[in-house]
Structure 1
Amino acid sequence: MKVLLYFEGEKILAKSGIGRALDHQKRALSEVGIEYTLDSDCTDYDILHINTYGINSHNMVNKAKKMGKKVIYHAHSTEEDFRNSFIGSNQISPLVKKYLVSLYSKADYLITPTPYSKDLLEGYGITVPIVSISNGIDLDRFKHSVDKEEKFREYFNIKPEQKVIICVGLYFERKGIIDFVELAEKFPEYRFIWFGHTPMYSIPKAIRTIVKDEHPENVEFPGYIKGDIIEGAYSAADLFFFPSYEETEGIVILEALASKQQVLVRDIPVYQGWLVDKENCYMGKNNKEFTRLIEELVEKKIPDTSLAGYKVAKEKSIEHIGHELKDVYEKVLKNESIQNKEQIHQKN
C-alpha cells in the first residue's frame, strides 16, 4: 500500500492547525509502516489522501479519479468554521459550503476530526462514508522540559510571581479573540499572551485594530512562535484559555492537554464525547463565567484537571491515529477488491 498525501499551499497553511495535521499524518503513517509520498507527480500510489481545497486540490482529485485511484478526503473544514474568520467570510460561506460538498462528494471516504464535524457533514446531505479520527498529538514533543520553560520565561521576561494565561490561534473573531482581550481587562495583574498569526490584510478592520493598537497593556500578540518557546509556554503558563466559538477539533487543545496544562474552553458542541467539564477541563458559556473560572483556576481555588486531561491526549496519540488511518485505508482498498471481483463475475 502506498499513499499520496497531498497538501496544497503547504507554506501558507504551515502555521495553521491543518498544517500541523499533515505533520501528524506523516508521523502516524510512519509509526504503522505505511509507505507515503508527498510528490504530486507520483503515479504509483494506491490512495490519494487529500487535505486541502484549492483549485490544485480539485484538479488532483479529478486526476486521481481518471487514473482509477481511491480518494480519501480529510474534511478539516466546514461552513461553520469558515464563518467569522477572513474579510467577507460570512457573505461567501454558503458558496464555500457548496464548494466543499462538491469536493467531498467526489471522495470514496471522508475523514473528519470529531463526531461533531461528522454530524455537520452528514447534515449537508453528503452520502460518502464518513469516519471521525482525531488529528492526533505528538506526546513526546510536549513532554515537560525545564529547559523549554526557562526559554519561554526568558523570551517574555516573566517574573517568578507573574501569572500567565495563554491562547494559541489565528486572529479570527471565531477564535474568541475579542473575548480574550475583554477578559484581560478584568485581570490587569495577569499577563495574557495570544500566540499565532494571520496576515493583517485578510482579517476585518475591527480585529486588526485590536491586535495592533486597542488592547490592554497586559495583552501581548507575539505572532507565530514555534519550537522550544511555545512548547515551554504550554507547560509553564498558569492556564490555557481557548474561548473559540467553533472548531472541527482544535489541535491546540490537544497540545495543551499533552503538556499537562490546565485547560479552560467555551462550552460548544465539538467537545462532546471527549472533553468533560470539571473532569478533564473546565468550560464556560460566557465572559461572566470565564471571569470567575479564570480567577479560580489561576489562584488554584478549584481542583486541577490537568492529569485527567493528559489521559485524553494519550488516547489521541499519533500511534493510535496511525492504526485508525490504516484501518480506513484497508477498508477502502478492500472495497475496491470486492468491486473488481464483482465486475469479473458479471463478465463471466
Structure 2
Amino acid sequence: MRVHLYNGSLGLVRRSGVGQAFYHQKAMLEQAGVAVTESWDAHADAVHINTVLPDAVFAALRARMRGETVVYYGHSTMQDFRDSFVGSNLLAPLFGRWIRFCYDLGDFIITPTPYSQQILESYHLKKPVCVLSNGVDTDFFAPDPARREHFRREHQLADDQPVVVSVGHYFERKGILDYIELARAMPEVCFFWFGYTEPALTPAHIREAMAVAPGNLHFAGYVDQAALREAYCGADAFVFCSHEETEGIVVLEALACGVPVVVRDIPVYEGWLSDGREVLKRHDVAGFRAAIGDILGGAWPDLAKNGRAAACARNMKALGQRLCDLYRTQGKRPA
C-alpha cells in the first residue's frame, strides 16, 4: 500500500499543530510499514489532505480524478477559528461554510477526538467522520533529567527555581491573556511562553497585553522540537489555558515528557484525560494558580506518571495500525 501525504502549503502551517500532524502521520505510516510519498508521480491508494487552503481543494479533486481515496483531516472547526487571527471572529461563519465544502471532498474525514467528531458531525457533513488521535512520539518526547539540567543552565535558572511552560500562537483562544495574568499573580515563578505569531496577524489588545506583561514571563518565540522537548523536561508544570481545541498536540508532548499538566476544563479532554489522575483541570486564573501551588507543593505525586501513560496510549506505532484499519473500512479499495 502507498499513501500520498499532500505537502502543498506545508510551509505556511509548518509551525502549527496542523504542520506537526503532517509529520506525525508520516511517522505513523512508516512505523506501520506503509510506503509514503509526497509526489504525484506514482499512484497512491490514499491521499492525505491536512489543510483547508485553496490548493488543498485542487489536490483533493485531482486525487478523486485519479481514483485515489481522499482522507481529509478535520483539524479545524469554526469554533477554534474564533479568537485567533485579526478578523477571525468576523470571518468565522464564512470559514465554517468553507471547511464544510473542503471536508466533503474527502471519502472520509479523520478528526482527533470524540469532541471534535461531535462538532464536525453537527455541520451535517456528507461523509463519515472517524476519530484518530494526532498521536505523539513517546520515544522522542520522554522524561530526561539531563535535558532538564540543560534547559535550566541555558536560561540561567537555579535548580530550585519554579518554572512553568506553555506553548501556542499569540491567540486569545490559546489563553494567552490568562497566562499573562497568571504570571503576574505568581511573581516567584518563572513563566515561559513558546510560540510566535506575526504582529500583523495578532490583534491589538493581545499585543498591548504582551507589552506590559510582568518580568517573570518570557516570550521565548518559536523553537524547534528538540528545544521544546528540553523546555518540557525543564519545567515543573505545563499550563495550557486554551479555551478551545480539537485535541492539543502540545498537551500530548508535555504529558509524554512527564511534566505535570494543568489544562482548562473544556470538553475536548473528556474521556481521555481525568482531573486528578492524568492532569489537573481548572476554569480560571485562580484555579490555575492554586493548581500550580499544589504541584509545586508535591500534592499530586502520581500526576506525571499517569500523564505519561496517557501519552503512551497514543504512540505512533499503535496509531499507524489503527489508521490502516480505517483505510480498509472506509477507503475505496482494501489495503
**Shorter-chain TM-score category?**
over 0.9
2:22 counterpart residue number: 22
Instruction: Please tell me whether Structure 1 or Structure 2 has the larger radius of gyration of its CA atoms.
Output: 1
2:31 counterpart residue number: 31
Q: 2:165, 2:238 within 8 Å by CA — same for their partners in 1?
A: yes
Distance 1:187 1:250 in 2: 25
Distance 1:164 1:231 in 2: 14
In the superposition, the TM-score normalised over structure 1's length comes to: 0.93
CA offsets 1:49-69 (integer angstroms, 9 cap, x no match): 111111110111111122222
Q: Percent identity?
A: 39
Residue type at the aligned position of 2:329: K
Distance 2:257 2:243 in 1: 23
Counterparts in 2 of 1:29-178, with a 5 A limit?
Answer: 29-39=29-39, 41-178=40-177
1:231 counterpart residue number: 229
Residue type at the aligned position of 1:76: H
Counterparts in 2 of 1:272-311, with a 5 A limit?
Answer: 272-311=270-309
Residue type at the aligned position of 2:290: R
CA offsets 1:186-215 (integer angstroms, 9 cap, x no match): 11010010011111111101112233x210
Q: Name the SS of the counterpart of 2:72 in structure 1.
A: strand
Shift in Å at residue 286 of structure 1?
A: 1.6
Shift in Å at residue 182 of structure 1?
A: 0.4
Counterparts in 2 of 1:243-282, with a 5 A limit?
Answer: 243-282=241-280
Residue type at the aligned position of 1:2: R
Residue type at the aligned position of 2:182: L
Distance 2:60 2:227 in 1: 38
Shift in Å at residue 227 of structure 1?
A: 4.1
- Which is further off, 47-56 or 141-150? 141-150
Shift in Å at residue 181 of structure 1?
A: 0.5
Residue type at the aligned position of 1:118: Q
CA offsets 1:162-191 (integer angstroms, 9 cap, x no match): 100000111110000000000111110100
In the superposition, the TM-score normalised over structure 2's length comes to: 0.96
Residue type at the aligned position of 2:260: Q
Q: 1:152, 1:230 within 8 Å by CA — same for their partners in 2?
A: no
Distance change in 2, residues 1:102/1:257 (3 Å) = same
Q: Name the SS of the counterpart of 1:175 in structure 2.
A: coil
Distance change in 2, residues 1:331/1:42 (3 Å) = farther
Q: 2:32, 2:320 within 8 Å by CA — same for their partners in 1?
A: yes
Q: Name the SS of the counterpart of 2:135 in structure 1.
A: coil
Distance 1:228 1:106 in 2: 36
Residue type at the aligned position of 2:298: K
Q: 1:244, 1:265 within 8 Å by CA — same for their partners in 2?
A: yes
Q: Name the SS of the counterpart of 1:280 in structure 2.
A: coil
Among residues 323, 327, 330, which one is paired with 2:328 in the alignment? 330
Which is richer in helix?
1
Structure 1 unmatched ranges of 5 or more: 338-348
Q: 2:143, 2:256 within 8 Å by CA — same for their partners in 1?
A: no
Alignment RMSD:
1.4
Distance 2:144 2:333 in 1: 47
